[in-house]
Amino acid sequence: MSMNTSHDPLVLYGETFHSRLLLGTSRYPSPAVLEAAVKLAKPAMLTASLRRQGAVPHEAGNQFWEMLKALKVPVLPNTAGCHSVQEVITTAQMAREVFETPWIKLELIGDDYTLQPDTLNLVEAADKLIKDGFKVLPYTTEDLVLCQRLVDVGCQAVMPWAAPIGTGKGPVNPYAMRMLRERLAVPMIVDAGLGKPSHACSVMEWGYDGVLLNTAVALAQDPVAMAGAFASATQAGRDAWRSGAMSEQDAAQPSTPVLGTPFWHHA
Amino acid sequence: MKVTINKREHELPTGATVADAVAAIEARPPFAAAVNTQFVPKAQYPRHVLKDGDRVEIISPVTGG
């Protein structure tokens, strides 16, 4: 991994993280594969959720909970599946008690088919959570004004989607995402819709501060290797952004010196 | 009285609390609870008296994205 990592930590709400990859914990072929993927990728945070006890039979006995504790990676609980501000608040409060953390990934769904965030109520939910002492990472669309409003109510980072959750399409609106990066100064993590390490690398090259993904790793044929690939690509993109890419040219320019070329113009 | 716990109806005695609801489904830690979509902190379980028709949710950690 890059030598830059330790000098260039991700800072969210004053806390320092030595990785720019946040990893979801769902849909892996087995808990052992998830564990191996986490150990290889060394993510900054792991997302988790809450469901009715007994509703998810294969997780009975709470093997997942024991693994989370043993991995010692900070947990980012989500409010996945919430459709109202009240549901979000209650879920976040339950998550804070269970996971013993003030971090919350705010998910307020407005449309079940696309899992698009409820853009009209997201700011109110964020505002209430911030006032209740949460460190809120809101999952949002790439809408500039919405992201600005989230910052206005106290979000110290925002998480725009690249594409709908689980689609793996990569950034569907690169122009808007690049413009958003240019206009907002807070840390921004691209959350959802990434399918390949090159997608993660691209958004990091545009200046995004991190990526959060799940399905792209969990549904890969070799999730452990893919987790490593995403970790490398994320760091590569970050290093590239810090290095300042050359500007694109239309005309070819030889990279090898022309002076002293043998047989030069003999023909 | 009838109380819904995790979507299933349970018969609990009048005056039953959230602690009784937790016991009724033999909830295993870790978990958190809400009544009628309002969070109830653990310390309040023995004091929070349920009413007929209340909806109790008892939730636990699962994988998530």
- The 10s digit of each residue's pLDDT in A89-127 is 999 999 999 999 999 999 999 998 999 999 999 999 999
Give the CATH number of domain A7-243; options: 3.90.550.10, 3.20.20.70, 3.40.50.300, 2.60.120.10: 3.20.20.70
Closest CA to A45 of A6, A102, A126: A102
Q: Mean pLDDT in chain B?
A: 96
pLDDT score of B6 more than 80: yes
Domains of chain B, residue spans: 2-59
Q: Quick one: how far is CA A202 from the chain centroid?
A: 13
% of chain A beyond a pLDDT of 90: 85
> Within a 13 Å sphere around the CA of A100, how many CA atoms are in the beta-carbon half?
4
| Contact between residue A195 and residue A186 where contact means Cβ atoms under 8 Å apart | no
**pLDDT at residue A126 in the model:** 98
**pLDDT at residue A168 in the model:** 94
pLDDT score of A55 more than 90: no
Distance from CA of B57 to the nearest CA of A (A): 7
pLDDT score of A225 more than 50: yes
Average pLDDT score over residue span A180-202: 97
**pLDDT at residue A58 in the model:** 54
**pLDDT at residue A220 in the model:** 97
Least confident of A4-8, A202-206, B15-19, B49-53: A4-8
* Residues of chain B with a CB closer than 8 angstroms to some CB in chain A: 6-7, 25, 27-28, 30-34, 37-39, 41-42, 57-65
pLDDT score of A24 more than 80: yes
**pLDDT at residue A1 in the model:** 46
**pLDDT at residue B10 in the model:** 96
Q: Mean pLDDT in chain A?
A: 93
**pLDDT at residue A262 in the model:** 87
Task: Determine, for residues B62 and A24 on separate chains, whether the beta-carbon distance falls below 8 Å.
Answer: no
Average pLDDT score over residue span A222-247: 96
Distance from CA of A61 to the nearest CA of B (A): 8
**pLDDT at residue A59 in the model:** 53
**CA A145 → CA A8, A140, A177, A183, distances in Å?**
28, 11, 12, 10
**pLDDT at residue B50 in the model:** 98
Kind and range of the H or E run holding A230: helix A223-243
Active-site residue, selected from the candidate residues A105, A128, A131, A135: A105
| Contact between residue A68 and residue A93 where contact means Cβ atoms under 8 Å apart | no
Q: Which amino acid is at A159?
A: M
Domains of chain A, residue spans: 7-243
Burial of A8 (0-12, 13-18, 19+ CB in 10 A): middle
How many other CB atoms sit within 10 Å of the CB of residue B6? 18
DSSP B17: B
CA torsion angle A121 B38 B64 A239 (round to 10): 50
Average pLDDT score over residue span B34-53: 97
In whole angstroms, how large is the CA radius of gyration of chain A? 21
Average pLDDT score over residue span A137-147: 97
The topology under which CATH files domain B2-59 is Ubiquitin-like (UB roll) (3.10.20)
Kind and range of the H or E run holding A29: none
Alpha carbons A158 and A30: distance in angstroms, whole number: 31
**pLDDT at residue A218 in the model:** 97
Alpha carbons A46 and A34: distance in angstroms, whole number: 11
Residue with more model confidence, A208 or A52: A208
Distance from CA of A163 to the nearest CA of B (A): 14
What pTM did the predictor assign? 0.92
Q: What is the DSSP string of chain B?
A: -EEEETTEEEE--TT-BHHHHHHHTTPPSS-EEEETTEEE-GGGTTT-B--TT-EEEEEEEEE--
What are the beta bridge partners of residue A45?
Answer: A22
Which of the residues A94, A103, A191, A211 would you substitute to probe the B interface, choosing the one with the greatest number of B C-beta atoms within 10 Å? A94
Which of the four pLDDT bands, split at 50, 70 and 90, describes residue A222? very high
